[in-house]
Amino acid sequence: MGLKIGLDIDGVVANSFPVFLRELNKHYGKNLAQIDNYKMTELFEVSQEDLSAFFDANVEYLYFAPEPMAGALATIESWFQAGHEIIFITARKLGIQEQVTRKWFKKYGLPDEKIIFAGGASKTFAVREYCLDVFVEDFTTNAFEIAAIGVPVLLLDAPYNQGKLPTGVTRCYNWEDIKCEVAKLACSKGLTAGTFKF
């Protein structure tokens, strides 16, 4: 048995925020340089209803256009080769968002059997249910909740997740860092790539 690795999608596997930023700037007539506040309602000064309506109307584009994060696909592939198990847990919802997500996974050759569409629910439920060894996330609220139940979190650095991190959350600056941290964790559990010692 390898590690059980949990992955968020937006801002971790999919480089979604540059697409969101571009489209939201266009739609709301703004010229923001970056998303430095995860609460996009505050950033664009719009209501949740308005923002949700925009996402619903453009779901196909917003969730299909993003490129994978640099290094993500190769690292995920190497984890499968090493015998690790991967579970995707996203705040995306069932229905049309799920369909677009599965299409995106297919396009990039990612296996889509294990995707949990948590919607607005806390991710800790799924993290516990799957007994994950580590979780990769970009949203601090999720990261802190998961770390608080004792599962180490790797936080992929972004303008909206700056600041001090609690115990159990490690900031990673790119997928090379994430790969390295997962390798260290595998080592600490007596697992090395391909050969497992117990």
Quote the CA–CA distance of 193 and 69 in Å, as a whole number. 23
Residue 8 beta carbon to Mg ion: minimum distance, rounded to whole angstroms: 4
Which residue's CB is nearer to Mg ion, number 82 or number 124? 124
Closer CB to Mg ion, 153 or 191, in the complex: 153
CB of 10 to Mg ion, least distance (A): 4
Shortest distance in whole angstroms from residue 101 CB to Mg ion = 13
CB of 50 to Mg ion, least distance (A): 21
Residue closer to Mg ion (CB basis): 12 or 186: 12
- For Mg ion (CB under 5 A), the number of binding residues is 4
Compute CA 166 distance to the chain's CA centroid, rounded to the nearest angstrom: 19
Residue nearer to Mg ion on the CB measure, 158 or 193: 158
Binding to Mg ion (CB under 5 A) within 121-150 occurs at: 138
User: Is residue 6 at the binding interface for Mg ion, with CB under 5 A as the rule?
Assistant: no
Q: Which is nearer to Mg ion, 135 or 191 (CB)?
A: 135
When asked if residue 8 is in the footprint of Mg ion (CB under 5 A), the reply is: yes
When binding is defined by CB under 5 A, the residue of 11, 59, 87, 124 that contacts Mg ion is: 11
66 binds Mg ion (CB under 5 A): no
In contact, 155 and 126? CB cutoff 8 Å: no
198/191 Cα distance (integer angstroms): 8
Among 5, 10, 24, 115, binds Mg ion (CB under 5 A): 10
Residues at the interface with Mg ion (CB under 5 A): 8, 10-11, 138
